Structure 1
Amino acid sequence: MNAPADPTSPEITLYTSAVCGYCVAAKNFLRSRGLAWNEVRIDLDPDARQRMVARTRRTSVPQIFVGETHVGGYDDMMALHRAGGFDRLLAGDGE
């Protein structure tokens, strides 16, 4: 996990793997915003990979959640951010 999270914000979870440029980009974006996240490395934990696929119906990484809301991958997160929805999710207001 990165730096301490704002206790009022929903937890951010990233499913990642070691060899993933978009995973690095997602973490850099979150870091630039001063946000913390819980990282789940699916390349190190086959059970975590199965849980990710069951939750998202996707096999690619990163897969990003804010609370229980599935944001999608890096491109999805950035599109949501550009539309103003990412900040609303962080505030607990939904998409």
Structure 2
Amino acid sequence: MPRSYPPEVRRKVVGHVASGRKVVEAARLLGISDQAIYVWRRQHLVETGQLPGTNSSDLSRLAAAASESPSWRPSWPYTGGPPNYWAR
């Protein structure tokens, strides 16, 4: 199971990488997966507007809206797909 890190740790690690330290070096030194650092760095760039994407506040609003409104769900009972009107 992936380990969860507090936001303060993520900010510090992203700061180290932004200051010029290599991701692989920071990952080895801190005992954190390099893939996790790449994800954190990309999310930081999205949050600061340097890369296109959906920021954290937008994601949380979308998740809240999806859980409140079932409008995205199909109108038929889930049976594996829509009814087949052309079946014989």
User: Does TM, normalized by the shorter one, top 0.5?
Assistant: no
More helix by share: 2
Larger relative strand fraction: 1
| TM-score (norm: length of structure 1) | 0.26
The structure with the largest alpha-carbon Rg is 2
Which of 1 and 2 has higher RCO (CA within 8 Å, sep 6+)? 1
| TM-score, with length taken from structure 2 | 0.28
